[in-house]
Amino acid sequence: AQKVTQAQTEISVVEKEDVTLDCVYETRDTTYYLFWYKQPPSGELVFLIRRNSFDEQNEISGRYSWNFQKSTSSFNFTITASQVVDSAVYFCALRGYTGANSKLTFGKGITLSVRP
Amino acid sequence: KAGVTQTPRYLIKTRGQQVTLSCSPISGHRSVSWYQQTPGQGLQFLFEYFSETQRNKGNFPGRFSGRQFSNSRSEMNVSTLELGDSALYLCASSGTTTNEKLFFGSGTQLSVL
C-alpha cells in the first residue's frame, strides 16, 4: 500500500523567514508521481508541482523550491522569504502507475502560518 | 476555461437521509475523482471515474456510490447518512493519463445532524 507521511502538523514563522515542509513517501511501484498541493481557507486545492519517479532534478519556481531524493523517499518543499499569503495547508501526495496504486494518496497536511 | 464546479456548496442533512453531490469537470477532461476531507482522517480517496467507468475505488462502505455521465459530469451519492459523514467532499478532474495533475473544485461542505 502507498503511504505519505508529513510529520510536521503545524508550522509558524515570521514573514521573510525560510521554511521547509517535509514529505516522506512509501510505495512499491517503480513508476510513480509526487505532487504538492496548497489549500487556502477557501478550501480549493491548488496544484503546485508534479514530479515523476524518474526525474530527481530539483526544481525552483520563484520563492518555491522542491528537493526530491529517491534514496530517502523524500520530496521536501521549501518556501524562501515567506509571505503572509503563503499561510495555508500544504499537502504532499503520491500516485502510483497502475491498479489500486493509481489513486492519489495524500499526507495529513501541514498548516503553515506566516505572521507579519 | 471554467474550473471544476461542485454543487451545492453547503448542505445540511439529518441522519438516515441520503444526499447527492454534483461535479462538473473542466471541459475536455474525462477523469473525475472524489475525495472526503475530515479533520481527523484528512483527505481520503473515494472513487475515480473515467469515460463513465469506475477506474478505482477507495475503502468506503457501499453507502457511498458514484457515477459519471457521457458528458463527464459526475455525481456521488451517500445513502443512510451517519454523523461521521460530515465532511468536505472534493471533486477533481484531469485529462486521460495517470500522471496528469488534478484540478480540484471548491468542494461541498456536508453537515449531518
Q: Lowest-pLDDT range, A41-45, A72-76, A98-102, B42-46?
A: A98-102
Q: Do the beta carbons of residue B108 and residue B10 sit within 8 Å?
A: yes
Q: What is the pLDDT of residues A15-60, one digit of tens each?
A: 999 999 999 999 999 999 999 999 998 888 999 999 989 988 888 8
Judge: A50–B102 Cβ closer than 8 Å, yes or no: no
The beta-carbon neighbor of A91 closest among B43, B48, B99 is B43
Residue B83 · residue B15 · CB < 8 Å: yes
Interface membership of B101 toward A (CB under 8 Å): yes
The answer to whether the Cβ–Cβ distance between A95 and B99 falls below 8 Å is yes
pLDDT at residue A100 in the model: 77
- Please say if the pLDDT value at position B96 is more than 90: no
A4 to chain B, minimum CA–CA distance in Å? 11
- Provide the β-strand partners of residue A39: A89
Give the model confidence (pLDDT) of B50-89 as tens digits: 989 998 899 999 999 999 999 999 999 999 999 999 999 9
pLDDT of B2 strictly over 90: no
What's the pLDDT tens digit per position in B30-47?
999 999 999 989 999 999
Yes or no, beta carbons of B33 and A37 under 8 Å apart: no
Minimum Cα–Cα distance from A110: chain B residue: B42
In this prediction, residue B97 has a pLDDT band, given cuts at 50, 70 and 90, of low
Q: Where are the alpha helices (DSSP H) in chain B?
A: none
Query: Taking Cα atoms as reference points, which of B65, B73, B55 lies closest to residue B5?
Result: B73
| C-beta contacts of A26-32 below 8 A and 24+ residues apart | A26/A2, A26/A73, A27/A2, A27/A3, A27/A94, A27/A96, A27/A101, A28/A101, A29/A2, A29/A53, A29/A96, A29/A97, A29/A98, A29/A101, A31/A96, A31/A97, A32/A94, A32/A95, A32/A96, A32/A97, A32/A101
Chain A residues inside the 8 Å CB shell of B33:
103-104
Coil, helix or strand at residue A86: helix
Write the Ramachandran bin of B81: left for phi over 0, alpha for psi from -120 to 50, otherwise beta: beta
- Answer yes or no: do A44 and B104 touch at CB < 8 A: yes
| 8 Å CB contact between A90 and A112 | yes
SS (H, E, C) A46-57: EEEEEEECCCCC
- When pLDDT is averaged across residues A97-108 and rounded to a whole number, the result is 85
Task: Please state the φ and ψ torsions of residue A47, each to the nearest 5 degrees.
Answer: -70, 135
Pairing of strands B108-112, B87-94: antiparallel
Instruction: Work out the minimum CA distance from A51 to partner chain B, whole angstroms.
Output: 9
In Å, how far from its chain's centre is CA A76?
A: 6
Residue B98 has pLDDT above 70, yes or no: no
